[in-house]
Structure 1
Amino acid sequence: MFAYQEPMPVEQLVQSLCDTKQGYTQFGGLRPFGVSYLFAGWDKNFGFQLYMSDPSGNYAGWKAAVIGANNQAAQSMLKQDYKDDMTREEGVQLALKVLSKTMDSTSLTPEKLELAEVFLSPSGKVKSQVCPPASLSKLLEKVGVNQPSTEDS
């Protein structure tokens, strides 16, 4: 989104969206959006940023965050294992570890998961990339996530 022919800072965009969400709570206590969001973005002022908003329109910035089922356990794991100086690869591995330990599924497979990354390319441009299932399978193996075995028991 652009304001004054300049890219809008991430927090300003999140604040605008959350103001809209909050506006609906003022009339009859409605929360028509009824969801929490994780917003990830990059701007030239503050680099990469992560914000979490709740259905009421409140938002906060985080270094690492989760929403959804088992979010308390996942948040606890992030508090314990997240480091400010993690590489992109280490961040992906931590995300997969947290998902594998907190999802209600017995095994984490590429059919049950989609992984996307937002990163700076070597040329300095912001890129997003969805990990193909074959690569995701290799990542899951590397992290040691229990995948279903093809052997008969």
Structure 2
Amino acid sequence: MDPTLLASGAIAVLVAFLKATADKSAELASEAALGRLKSLYQAVKVKLARSDVDAGVFERFEADPSSTARQRALEGVLAEAIQEDSEFAAKVAQLLKDSEPDVAHIIVTDSGAVAGGDVNQRGRYVAGRDLTVGVEPPQH
């Protein structure tokens, strides 16, 4: 899989995890769900801790995960780490796959990485603006 796509997916999960743990939405998620999200968080944090520069980028992201500039900076650093380490890439891909059902339970706001873009949600109970079910959406 493309390192940039893996990094982008990981950033989305990390933003959701950090926001969920910072506010009341963490109470809505099960311990197992938060555990799976935390596994990705810890894997990325440990990997990036091997370089002072990368660790600094991660710490700045942790301090303000809604900052698009910090998300982009972390995405670049993470994509590079994924490109250089195929075992880490496989681990990130598996952790993202494992966390898919859990991320659907976290509310996505129109800010940060999703502002003005498409958000694809999968799960039993999902909702959004301009929702179409069973038909192709109109082309703009």
Task: Report the structure, 1 or 2, having the larger helix content.
Answer: 2
Q: Which has the higher strand share?
A: 1
**TM-score (ref. length: structure 1):** 0.25
Larger radius of gyration: 1
Using CA pairs below 8 Å that are at least 6 residues apart, which structure has the higher relative contact order? 2
